[in-house]
Chain A
Amino acid sequence: QLQLQESGPGLVKPSETLSLICLVSDGSISTSSDYWGWIRQSPGKGLEYIGTIYYSGSTYYNPSLKSRVTISVDTSKNQFSLKLTSVTAADTAVYYCARFIRWFGGNMDVWGRGTTVAVSS
C-alpha cells in the first residue's frame, strides 16, 4: 500500500528557506495517473494547499504562496520536495505531503503523517 513520509528540519529561522522531502514508498512516483503535492495546517489558518507536481516536473502553486514556493521531483529517488523561501512565524505549521487524484481538485487520497516545522530564531 502506497505510503508517503515527510522529512526535514523541525526548526527554521525567520527569513531562511524551509526545505522538506516526501519519500514515496510501495509505489511509483512516475505513475501517469498520479499527482503529488503539499498541504500545511496551522492553528491560525487551518488547512492550506501549497502546490502540486507531476512526475514530468510540471507544477502548480497556490497563488498566495507562488512567489515563495518551489516543488520539485526526483524520480530516481521516488521523492518530491518543497522549498519555501523567506519564512516567517506565519509559516509555522504541520506540513503534509499527499497524492492528488486530479491536477486541479481537492481530492487527496493518500497522506503522509506530517512533519511539524516551527519558524523561530
Chain B
Amino acid sequence: QSVLTQPPSVSAAPGQKVTISCSGSTSNIGSNYVSWYQQLPGTAPKPLIYDNDKRPSGIPDRFSGSKSGTSATLGITGLQTGDEADYFCATWDVNLNTVIFGGGTKVAVL
C-alpha cells in the first residue's frame, strides 16, 4: 500500500479532460515538490511535471500539475488515445527519508 494515494483508474472520451489526484500528508506532499510520470505499457516512466506545476521541454500544455496542501493533481485536457497509460506521482517524505511514489492511475480513453 502506497504512502501516496491515487485512484486506480480514470476514464473519459477523446477530447475530454481527466484529473488524477495524489493524496499525501504534511511529511511528503505538504512539504516537498511533486512530480508526475507517464508510463506507457512496456516502457520506462516519462517525466510529465516537475516541481508541482512545471513541464519539461517537449511536454504539451495539455498536461498540467497543481498542488494544494497535502494533495496534488495532474490534469490532462484534449484526451487522446495515445494518453492511455499509467500515471504516477512522486515526492520526498521527510519522515521516511526516501522518495515515495503513488500506486499509479490507469487512464482509459473510451
Residues on A lying within 8 angstroms of B by beta carbon are: 39, 46-49, 62-64, 96, 101, 104-114
Contact = CB atoms under 8 A, between A and B. Distances in A.
B46 A107 contact: no
Interface residues of B, number: 26
B47 A108 contact: yes
Contacts of A104: 92
A113 B44 contact: yes
B103 A46 contact: yes
Contacts of B47: 107-111
B37 to A, nearest CB: 8
Contact of B90 (A62, A106, A114): A106
A96 B91 CA distance: 17
B110 interface: no
A81 to B, nearest CB: 19
A111 B99 contact: no
B73 interface: no
A10 B52 CA distance: 36
Nearest to B47: A109
Given A39-B99, A49-B99, A106-B33, 16 more contacts: A47-B45, A49-B98, A63-B97, A63-B98, A96-B44, A105-B99, A106-B91, A106-B92, A107-B33, A107-B35, A107-B51, A108-B35, A109-B50, A111-B44, A111-B47, A113-B43
B43 A46 contact: no
B109 interface: no
A38 to B, nearest CB: 11
B33 A105 contact: yes
A28 to B, nearest CB: 20
29 contacts: A39-B99, A46-B2, A46-B101, A46-B104, A47-B88, A47-B101, A47-B104, A48-B101, A49-B100, A62-B98, A63-B98, A96-B45, A101-B50, A105-B91, A105-B92, A105-B99, A106-B35, A106-B90, A106-B92, A106-B99, A107-B33, A107-B50, A107-B51, A108-B45, A108-B47, A109-B47, A109-B56, A111-B44, A112-B44
Contact of A47 (B32, B50, B90, B96): B90
